[in-house]
Structure 1
Amino acid sequence: MKRILVTGALGQIGSDLIVKLRQIYGDEAVLATDIRQSQSEAVQSGPFRLLDVTDSKAFYDAAKEHRADTIIHLAALLSARAESNPALAWNLNMGGLLSALETARALSCQFFTPSSIAAFGADTPKRATPQDTLQRPLTMYGVSKVSGELLCDYYHHKYGVDTRGLRFPGLISHSAPPGGGTTDYAVDMYWEAVRSGSYTSYIAKGTYLDMMYMPDAISAIITLMEADGCRLKHRNAFNVTAMSVEPESIAASIRRHIPDFKLDYQVDPVRQSIANEWPDAIDATCAREEWGFDVQYDLNRMTDDMVSKLTEKLRADQSKIS
């Protein structure tokens, strides 16, 4: 990777990824794009361009003018928001992906887009979920992710596009607010623990889901994109994970720092039904064997960093007000 275009740059992954990519490859080498603008570091630290990813001509023009050799396509509508507007989710998630792949084909770009554990379904094995298994999701987000995996495979086999991808679990970050994903309850919990000392979970007690701390997710993207393509047997949608947790285990970890933290429940039937389709714990063996996937953060180390960073943010915000 030398000249990189990132879509969805102001989202949960993009906010951290842009910063890391610019540290490694240089500020001017990384073009951040999004359909909206902000005053975030992703916008201020290097080139930024407004981009509607469903506009295929605009997508191509942006990549060509940047002289991109790599496209990292993150723009998508996430699980809960996608379920509330499935037509919009399909048009954005699949229409944007097609624009991105066509641009990558035309300009011979290396290509990355994330998939998700939402690509599995109720009939997928719940424990040690294998890399290759039955995928029959019942949500629009999941359907678009399975379709996206297949479309990326198609562009690789049909046109030789160097497509690569990861099936991300829930991602936890202190840099960006929750973005409408089902697993965002965990991000919410950390924010509210520091802010108010209590949290009401919309996911039921005992619901185990795979999670990963954002620094490990960013590292995984870069490691995969820099890996020797000859070693990749699967290429698209590698299973990756760091931990399998449920709300009570996160709360217990938080209480090491905030002993009086209170957790209760008001289950959201829509998001709980989505979570019930997803695996409890997936198997990332193929990612480890084919390109050396590894993680640095377990639950407690992640909690230590989240509480520290969010406490700093809260103090900074309060000092600005006063």
Structure 2
Amino acid sequence: MARLAWVTSRARHSWLTSQAQQCWLNTRRHYHPNGDPPRILITGSLGQLGTGLAKLLRGKYGTQNVIMSDIVKPTKDIVNSGPYVFADILDFKCLQEIVVTYRIDWLVHFSALLSAIGEQNVPLAIRVNIEGLHNVMELSKQYNLRVFVPSTIGAFGPDSPRNPTPNLTIQRPRTIYGVSKVHAELLGEYYHHRFGLDFRCLRFPGVISADTMPGGGTTDYAVQVFHDAIEGREFECYLRPTTRLPMMYIDDCLRSLWEMLVAPEEKLKRRTYNVTAMSFSPEEIVSAVRKHFPDLKATYKPDSRQNIADTWPEIFDDNEARWDWGWQHHYDLEAMCEIMFTLLQQQQQMESVSGR
């Protein structure tokens, strides 16, 4: 079982009980006056966070009230799990039709090109990350939606303080992904103050999950190391062994998103908050993984992603989220390793039984 590093089991149970009651009350406040739950659209829902968030929200608000969308052909499992529609965020009319047809109340906007991929195709990143955002913001204003747009540690740059990186500081990122996220943060604040739009945003660190394969992002080494260890391969890291970055297990990430979505308006002193759980370097996670797989071999061959990591925070200061709306993480490095290996070994066994 995953160890909770921040509290004893009895205190944790008491805290979780009170938090669950508070979250239930906060959630009910955002139901319709007739008692209907909110209807939620998730763009880019087939990415790392979308499927997990859809499952979480469907458990809370009902399967038919959470609509997944993307431009990718879904698997049979996705189609069978609940409503799924094609949505091109560059097509305003397409998005508008979905919002009207499905009577959307909340919009979670995940569609984006990530850091390393965005650097390989800057014009496309500008279209998807900026023009697509403009459509989402204008549509949310027009139909009075609550809109959540994730941001990132990549929204900071070499001029930002790195240890710790506070909630409000100079940013000036040097990737198109980071630039687009700073643009999203500022545009959301503007729409909130100018038009009253209920815009909400969290800056996420690297997110670690057993459900998706690493996709080449700057923090994806922290997912790859688990796969390499469990499959008996040598782990080759594209960052220096001492490169420290903020990280978060996916369950904490998705829970923080939902808690931000339902947080009472009066508790939000900002529209954008840092959230995190831990910080570690490649050599530290390798050491933690070796407690489970002592024979893991690791080599370090920094590539262009090292230049990106060198401009990002080492330690993320998320005290404002903890003070304002009660954010708390559950998983530290040790607990994350335990649950990652448990889940990956279960997947491996299921694939072995099915003959894949």
TM-score (norm 2): 0.88
Query: Does residue 276 of structure 1 match 2:313?
Result: no
Gaps of 5+ in 2: 1-29, 31-37
CA distance in 2, matches of 1:43, 1:169: 30
* Aligned residues with identical type, % of pairs: 42
Contact 1:69 1:110 in 2 (8 A): yes
Gaps of 5+ in 1: none
| Comparing 10-19 and 187-196, the one that deviates more | 187-196
CA distance in 1, matches of 2:330, 2:78: 24
CA distance in 1, matches of 2:275, 2:305: 22
Q: Please, which of 48, 62, 75 is the counterpart of residue 12 of structure 1?
A: 48
Q: Which residue of the partner structure matches residue 97 of structure 1?
A: 133
Contact 1:32 1:43 in 2 (8 A): no
- Cα deviation per residue 1:234-290 (whole Å; 9 max; x = unaligned)? 122x1111001111111111111111111111221x211000000100100111111
May I ask how many residue pairs the two structures share in their alignment?
Answer: 320
Q: Please, which of 209, 225, 230 is the counterpart of residue 266 of structure 2?
A: 230
Q: Please, which of 274, 277, 290 is the counterpart of residue 242 of structure 1?
A: 277
- Cα deviation per residue 1:58-101 (whole Å; 9 max; x = unaligned)? 01111111111000000100000001111111110011111111
CA distance in 1, matches of 2:136, 2:76: 24
Q: Which residue of the partner structure matches residue 307 of structure 1?
A: 341
Q: Please, which of 278, 296, 301 is the counterpart of residue 266 of structure 1?
A: 301
RMSD, matched Cα: 1.2
Query: Does residue 34 of structure 1 match 2:70?
Result: yes
CA distance in 1, matches of 2:275, 2:330: 13
- Cα deviation per residue 1:176-226 (whole Å; 9 max; x = unaligned)? 122342101111111111122421011111000000000000000000111
| Comparing 244-253 and 206-215, the one that deviates more | 244-253
CA distance in 2, matches of 1:180, 1:46: 29
For 1:80, the aligned partner's letter is A
1:61-80 alignment runs, 5 A limit: 61-80=97-116
Q: Which residue of the partner structure matches residue 175 of structure 2?
A: 139
Q: What's the offset of the Cα at 1:130?
A: 0.8
Contact 1:15 1:175 in 2 (8 A): no
- Asked which structure has the greater CA Rg, the reply is 2
Change (3 A) 1:250 1:7: same
- Cα deviation per residue 1:114-145 (whole Å; 9 max; x = unaligned)? 00000000010110111110011111111111
Q: Please, which of 256, 271, 274 is the counterpart of residue 220 of structure 1?
A: 256
